[in-house]
Structure 1
Amino acid sequence: MTLLMAACGPNPNAKKLDTSSEGTIHISVDETYKPLIDSEIKVFESLYPKAHIIPTYKPEADCFKDLLNDSARLVIVTRDFNQEERDYIKKTKITPNSLLLAWDALALVVNNSNPDSILTMDQVRAIMDGTDTERKWQLVFDNANSSTVRYIRDSINKGKPLPTTTMAAKTNPEVIDYVSKNKNAIGVIGVSWISDPDDSLAMAFTNKVRVVKLRADGGSEFVRPYQAYIGIGSYPLKRGFYYCLKETHHGLGTGFATFLGSYEGQLVIKQARLFPARLNVVFREANLK
Structure 2
Amino acid sequence: MKYTYRLFVLLVVFTAGVFSCKGDKAPGEGVNADIPTAGKTTLYADNTVQPIIEDVLAVFHSVYTRADVTQVNLNETELVNAMIKDSARVVVMSRLLTDEEESNFRRRKITPVVTQFATDAIAFITNKSAKDSVVNLDEIVKVIKGGTSDKIQKLIFDNPNSSSVQYLLKYAGVAKLPSGNIYSLKSNEEVIRYVHKNPGSVGVVGVNWLTQRPESLAKIVSDITVLGVDNVKIDKGAKKYYKPFQSNIATNSYPLTRKLYVLNYSGREGLGTGFATYIGAFEGQRIILKSGLLPVEIPTREIEVRSDL
Give the TM-score of the pair, scaled to structure 2: 0.80
Map 1:73-112; keep pairs closer than 5 Å: 73-112=89-128
Which ranges in structure 1 are unaligned for 5 or more consecutive residues?
Answer: 1-9, 199-204, 283-289
Matched residue SS, 1:107: strand
Q: Residue in 1 aligned with 2:281?
A: 262
Q: Give me the CA root mean square deviation.
A: 2.2
1:280 positional shift: 6.2
Q: Residue in 2 aligned with 1:128?
A: 144
Contact 1:60–1:145 (CA<8 Å) still a contact in 2? yes
Q: Residue in 2 aligned with 1:6?
A: none
Which ranges in structure 2 are unaligned for 5 or more consecutive residues?
Answer: 1-21, 24-29, 215-219, 302-309
| Counterpart Cα distance in 1 of 2:298 and 2:164 | 25
Among all aligned residue pairs of Structure 1 and Structure 2, give the percentage whose two residues are the same amino acid. Answer: 32
Contact 2:105–2:111 (CA<8 Å) still a contact in 1? yes
| Counterpart Cα distance in 2 of 1:117 and 1:99 | 36
Distance 1:52 1:104, change over 3 A: same
| Counterpart Cα distance in 1 of 2:231 and 2:77 | 28
Distance 1:162 1:68, change over 3 A: closer
Q: Pick from 165, 177, 195: which aligns with 1:179?
A: 195
The alignment of Structure 1 onto Structure 2 pairs a total of residues equal to 264
Q: Pick from 155, 163, 166: which aligns with 2:178?
A: 163
* Segments of 4+ moved more than 6 angstroms: none
Q: Deviations over 1:133-185 (max 9, x none)?
A: 43451111111110011011011x21154331311110111100100111111
More helix by share: 2
Q: Deviations over 1:48-105 (max 9, x none)?
A: 0000110110101111222222222100011012122333212112111212211100
Contact 1:28–1:63 (CA<8 Å) still a contact in 2? yes
Contact 2:192–2:221 (CA<8 Å) still a contact in 1? no
Q: Pick from 208, 217, 228: which aligns with 1:213?
A: 228
Contact 1:28–1:66 (CA<8 Å) still a contact in 2? no
Q: Pick from 31, 38, 49: which aligns with 2:47?
A: 31
Q: Residue in 2 aligned with 1:48?
A: 64
Q: Which moved more, 1:246-255 or 1:271-280?
A: 271-280
One-letter amino acid matched to 1:260: I
| Counterpart Cα distance in 2 of 1:126 and 1:224 | 20
Q: Residue in 2 aligned with 1:7?
A: none
